[in-house]
Amino acid sequence: MAGCCGHDAQFEGVSADYKRRLWAVIAINAGMFVVEMTAGHMARSQALQADALDFFGDAVTYGISLAVIGASLRVRSTAALAKGVSLLLMGMWVFGSTAYRVFTIGVPTAEVMGIIGFLALVANLASVGLLMRYKDGDANVRSVWLCSRNDAIGNIAVMIAAFGVWGTATGWPDLIVAAIMAGLFLSSAVQIIRQSLAEGRASAGHQHG
């Protein structure tokens, strides 16, 4: 997490290799969103559905990141700000839906949670491996890394939840993990929004300077 706001030497994503890697992780995340959301609905798992939303958010994030590579600092910082706000809204939705499930609780299917959680972990470790070289950079590049990291952490958490559901025969471990993942969304959103705002101010300062 060594990316620092306002440094002129920050990587801005202008690289054919970086673009190829982004296309690969877009395909991985879009595919896993469909698989995990379907499995989450079938297994009645809030944690799986929260993780599926994370996959969807990442696919959109990577697409926006590709679109603004090479654009001005103002455009890139604005795009990153939009992604930060979307993560914030996603985190709030997961918190709200998790709270709702507390009052309509059903026991998720632990076996499906474990299998899909492991499959998603493999997919995300591949994405993290592809993007590791580019984890530091401007707010646009950094948002891609944070989303990939969130996915890997989320998948491990889903697998822990599956063991918890299996061991306790209740839905509480699933709901607790979903709430933790929502907190992770919110934390990343704050980091991205802060950096994008700082870069936006830097862009305005360069224009007036």
* CATH number of the domain bearing residue 40: 1.20.1510
Residue 6 lies in a domain: no
pLDDT digit string, tens, across residues 90-118? 788 777 776 666 566 566 777 887 888 88
E strand residue ranges, the chain: none
Residue 198 lies in a domain: yes
Range of the domain at 27: 16-208
Residue 63 lies in a domain: yes
Tell me the two tokens of residue 189: 């959103």
Compute CA 126 distance to the chain's CA centroid, rounded to the nearest angstrom.
15
Taking the C-alpha atoms of residue 5 and residue 162, their distance in angstroms, rounded to an integer, is 38
Residue 51 lies in a domain: yes
pLDDT digit string, tens, across residues 151-178? 777 778 778 888 888 888 777 887 887 8
| pLDDT tier at 9, thresholds 50, 70, 90 | very low
Q: What is the pLDDT of residue 4?
A: 29
Residue 7 lies in a domain: no
Residue 21 lies in a domain: yes
Report how many domains make up the chain. Answer: 1
3-class secondary structure, 28: helix
Contact assessment for residue 186 and residue 70, using Cβ atoms and an 8 Å cutoff: no
Residue 2 lies in a domain: no
